[in-house]
Each structure stands twice: as structure tokens, then as C-alpha cells.
């Protein structure tokens, strides 16, 4: 290979490398940003915000959490999980702790901004380092940012025993049902979970609710978010395929 051919090949190689680098997020000079609200969990008074900022020239984002209502001597573990906040999904990133004396936490994680805004994830904040079960605040992030929540109850006692949420998706919706496994007396086998019309006609099936986690999560592609949240649908969790007349929990879109 002569010198001119070698130089041409080298020029092509360098151009390809530069193009690849530019394809990360170099098409703009100012980093993209998005903010999500952190809300208190149950009786907690803790709330705040989480800001995600694109780190230019990398496939990562920087997040900054700011909390209010914390105790000055408190230390609050933060986990970014896969799935919605009512699924208790797999931990994607352990973000460390928010110090109550200066309740701001900043971390950089290897997640491209373009993936973040479509990410099926949530942020859980816990009571203290020795208790990563008790949640004190939460935030839906990414694709889960737009949703509506509805209460569920035992149809006989009318006691609250769960909730379901309808999350907006680009095509369709994501329906997550979660009921309290103790109050609903789950066990033995998965529980059929269905959507009915207000008149009682079966509309469509959801994923069976797990007898272990008490969760059913279903991606619905043939009904839009607006359609589902402006309907008179009722969601029911049934005892079993053999005992479909026994309803463990139900809730209506209102």
C-alpha cells in the first residue's frame, strides 16, 4: 500500500471515529434538563425535586436531589429502581444517601438522556440506612411521569386494600395494579385481573396479579391513556380461575 492510500485510509478511520463520538450527544451545545417532583409517601412529610442534566459528550446524566421536611440528624438512602413506584422493581442504581444537614445529593449515572426520558423507572427514598424497607418519599421518572392513580377496596367490607395506576405511553398505556397481600389474603396461585365496563361486561384481560408481590403490570397497546382515563372501567382482582365470582379487590376509573 503506497503512502497516499495509507493516508486516505487513516483519514476515513479518523472521520468515522469523530462521527461516532459526535453521535453521543454533541448535536447541541447546551445540556438538556428535566425535573421530576418527589412526593411524600403515605404519612411522611418529606418531599422535594430531582433534576436530571445531560452530561455533554458522554452517555450519562447528572442528577441532583433536593429534599425538604427531613430531620437534620437523618440520613436517607436513595435507590433508582426499574419499573413504576408501585412495583418495587429491581434496583438499577444505588445513589447513596441524602444528608439531613444539607439535604442535597448529586450523582452521575451511566444513562443517556435520550433513554432517561423514556425510562420505566422510579426513585425511592428510605427512612434511614438501617431501614431500606420503609419508604418516606418517591418520584416517578422518565416514561412514568404522566399517570393517574385510583384506589381499590374489598367489595364486601369496602375497606381499602390497594390501588391501580394508568401510565401514559407513546403507544397505549401501562396499567399497574397493586393490592395489600395481607389484607386481601393472597396465596396459593396467581389471581386473574380484568377490566370491566361499568355495566359489568368483561372488556379485556390484564396480567395475573402475583400471589407473592401482589402486583399486576400490563402494557396495553390497543387502548390509549386518554381513552382509559376518561372511561367508566372497573378493574377487578379475582380469587382464581375456578372462583371467578370471588372478588378480592376492585377499583373504578373516576
163-to-119, 151, 155, 160 alpha-carbon distances in Å: 22, 4, 13, 8
CATH of domain 33-142: 2.60.40.200
Query: Is 149 a residue whose pLDDT tops 60?
Result: yes
Do 33-142 and 147-252 show the same overall fold? yes
Give the integer Cα–Cα distance in Å for 206 and 225: 15
The confidence score (pLDDT) of residue 5 equals 40
Q: Which 8-state DSSP code applies to residue 102?
A: B
Q: Which 8-state DSSP code applies to residue 216?
A: E
Owner of C-alpha cell 437534620: 72
- Sequence spans of domains, the chain: 33-142, 147-252
Provide the mean pLDDT of the chain.
Answer: 90
Give the integer Cα–Cα distance in Å for 48 and 39: 7
Give the mean pLDDT of 65-87.
97
What does the block give as the cell for 175? 396499567
The confidence score (pLDDT) of residue 25 equals 53
7-11, 199-203, 235-239 — which is least confidently predicted? 7-11
The confidence score (pLDDT) of residue 27 equals 63
Each residue's pLDDT tens digit, 42-64? 899 999 999 999 999 999 999 99
The confidence score (pLDDT) of residue 6 equals 42
Q: Which 8-state DSSP code applies to residue 83?
A: S
Residue 111 burial by Cβ neighbours in a 10 Å radius (0-12, 13-18, 19+): buried
What does the block give as the cell for 193? 385481573
pTM, full prediction:
0.84
What topology does CATH give the domain 147-252?
A: Immunoglobulin-like (2.60.40)
Nearest to 239 by CA among 179, 197, 196: 179
Give the integer Cα–Cα distance in Å for 169 and 151: 21
Amino acid at each position: 500500500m503506497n503512502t497516499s492510500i495509507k493516508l486516505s485510509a487513516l483519514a476515513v478511520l479518523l472521520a468515522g471515529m469523530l462521527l461516532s463520538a459526535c453521535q453521543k450527544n454533541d448535536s447541541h451545545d447546551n445540556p438538556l434538563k428535566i425535573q421530576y417532583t418527589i412526593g411524600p409517601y403515605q404519612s411522611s412529610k418529606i418531599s422535594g425535586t430531582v433534576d436530571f442534566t445531560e452530561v455533554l459528550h458522554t452517555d450519562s446524566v447528572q442528577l441532583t436531589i433536593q429534599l425538604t421536611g427531613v430531620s437534620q440528624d437523618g440520613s436517607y438512602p436513595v435507590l433508582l429502581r426499574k419499573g413504576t413506584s408501585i412495583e418495587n422493581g429491581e434496583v438499577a442504581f444505588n445513589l447513596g444517601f441524602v444528608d439531613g444537614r444539607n439535604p442535597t445529593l448529586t450523582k452521575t449515572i451511566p444513562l443517556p438522556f435520550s433513554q432517561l426520558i423514556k425510562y420505566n423507572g422510579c426513585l425511592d427514598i428510605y427512612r434511614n440506612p438501617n431501614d431500606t424497607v420503609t419508604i418516606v418519599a418517591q418520584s416517578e421518572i422518565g416514561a412514568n411521569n404522566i399517570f393517574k392513580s385510583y384506589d381499590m377496596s374489598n367489595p364486601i367490607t369496602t375497606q381499602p386494600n390497594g390501588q391501580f395506576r394508568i401510565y401514559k405511553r407513546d403507544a397505549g398505556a401501562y396499567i399497574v395494579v397493586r393490592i395489600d397481600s395481607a389484607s386481601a389474603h393472597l396465596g396459593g396461585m396467581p389471581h386473574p385481573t380484568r377490566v370491566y365496563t361499568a355495566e359489568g361486561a368483561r372488556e379485556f384481560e390484564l396480567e395475573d396479579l402475583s400471589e407473592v408481590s401482589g402486583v399486576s403490570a400490563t402494557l396495553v397497546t390497543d387502548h390509549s391513556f386518554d381513552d382509559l382515563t376518561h372511561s367508566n372501567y372497573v378493574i377487578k382482582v379475582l380469587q382464581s380461575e375456578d372462583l371467578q365470582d370471588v372478588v378480592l379487590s376492585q377499583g373504578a376509573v373516576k
